[in-house]
Structure 1
């Protein structure tokens, strides 16, 4: 099936993203996820999670709606060991039944990053082969996906909608309207464990070479790609086809 035919097949029976966004503008995160589930069905819905510092809150809300919703985790080959352990711990704690760890293709890594230095010379290219391309591959069976971006994170995220059109798919942002305090409340009420690196000063955790501790008063994502003028890996700025 050609890319255009696949786009048409996915999008043919989907409602308008704008209409869904209007109807869910003031909805709770649980209501957004429940609507996504009702709209496309479990087999065509995925939640994409980094299992980062705030991920447990969204995963908890999802698990309360349906713990069998597929969870896509991008194992880039550059993640902290603590993140991999956290993934396993949260999967067990929340009773998640379908966590899929997606890795870059070995042939792509051998061809484009044989010395594992691409993160330094061209971080955008590194993100492309380790995150963007694997995610596009992982999302092919799905008509919609859920992610954890929040407006309070600022930058390109400051005005995100609750529901967006993402290529052929719908993208649901259940936490678009939540505050940092609301996320902390979810952690406390559910007694969720923090990411192991939070205690070391990491407020946002991605790949090991491109994550650093944030200083007091800095934005939570200041430690990502520090000094690079880069704020996104690309999975939210390039529509997955």
Structure 2
């Protein structure tokens, strides 16, 4: 990997940096992408935001291989399935992860906007904003980039997902963008990693319990998320200011 000092990278225009990174690493392995991101591009300035959901063990294992003390953010919405919280503890211990941080919503704001924890019924977008979108920004303070576990085969807006993009003032890294369901299943089997317990019950994509059901369409892993609603994303991956730059 060619060396570029950090100060030079800070002065590099976003469009040029994205073009350089995607040109160099779009076909690289997930581990190579992670190492380049950790060591060369954003040393101590990058984190991973994990849902500890159906496929999270893959990225968590790859990160643990590189640095088990890497900072990991878990948005503790207060609406997770109990199985997700148990799985979070199990997989963290199995992989030796030592820097997982729970980030809850503002309790003051929750008491005002959702005192009965029923906002998801009347306005799921507002519920996601309260419990995920707004807590994420302070959690990312001090970081110039963050890693996601998104993949193109999830469909929808993710079909054209690049490895590197830029939105809301930060770079986003998607090391598993090109992975398929077979890639994920094969990795979990080879590494003998436990699956989220709800996967066996028909949940290929897992979010908060009020808005997650077993997938209605087996070919669409996210068909159980906000089923029956005109909503496909929680808002974490929506650029508030502009279309994401991908190059």
Q: Give the TM-score of the pair, scaled to structure 2.
A: 0.89
Write the mapping of 1:95-174 to structure 2, written as runs, cut at 5 A.
95-174=96-175
Unaligned residue ranges in structure 2 (runs of 5+) = 1-6, 242-247
SS at match of 1:46: strand
Distance 1:74 1:114 in 2: 19
Q: Of 36, 39, 42, which aligns to 1:40?
A: 42
Which residue of structure 1 lines up, in the alignment, with residue 237 of structure 2?
236
State the Cα distance separating 1:17 from its structure 2 match: 2.2
State the Cα distance separating 1:215 from its structure 2 match: 3.6
* Contact residue 217 and residue 223 of structure 2 kept, 8 A: no
Distance 2:170 2:128 in 1: 21
* Contact residue 83 and residue 198 of structure 2 kept, 8 A: yes
With over 3 angstroms needed to count, the CA separation of the structure-2 counterparts of 1:141 and 1:110, relative to structure 1, is same
Which residue of structure 2 lines up, in the alignment, with residue 93 of structure 1?
94
Q: Deviations over 1:37-66 (max 9, x none)?
A: 02111x211011100000001111111111
Runs of 4+ in structure 1 over 4 Å off: none
Which residue of structure 2 lines up, in the alignment, with residue 4 of structure 1?
none
Write the mapping of 1:9-20 to structure 2, written as runs, cut at 5 A.
12-13=10-11, 16-20=17-21
Write the mapping of 1:178-189 to structure 2, written as runs, cut at 5 A.
178-189=179-190
Distance 1:161 1:22 in 2: 11
SS at match of 1:158: helix
* Contact residue 146 and residue 171 of structure 2 kept, 8 A: yes
Distance 1:36 1:13 in 2: 17
Which residue of structure 2 lines up, in the alignment, with residue 3 of structure 1?
none
Write the mapping of 1:197-236 to structure 2, written as runs, cut at 5 A.
197-215=198-216, 217-236=218-237
Distance 1:13 1:199 in 2: 48
Question: RMSD in angstroms over aligned alpha carbons?
Answer: 1.7
* Contact residue 18 and residue 164 of structure 1 kept, 8 A: no
* Contact residue 79 and residue 209 of structure 2 kept, 8 A: yes
* Contact residue 67 and residue 96 of structure 1 kept, 8 A: yes
Distance 1:129 1:20 in 2: 33
State the Cα distance separating 1:12 from its structure 2 match: 3.5
Distance 2:29 2:174 in 1: 11
SS at match of 2:160: coil
State the Cα distance separating 1:194 from its structure 2 match: 0.5
State the Cα distance separating 1:97 from its structure 2 match: 1.1
SS at match of 2:153: helix
Distance 1:18 1:235 in 2: 23
Distance 1:13 1:66 in 2: 27
Which residue of structure 2 lines up, in the alignment, with residue 83 of structure 1?
84
Distance 1:101 1:13 in 2: 33
| Residue 48 of structure 2 corresponds to residue 58 of structure 1 | no
Which residue of structure 1 lines up, in the alignment, with residue 24 of structure 2?
23
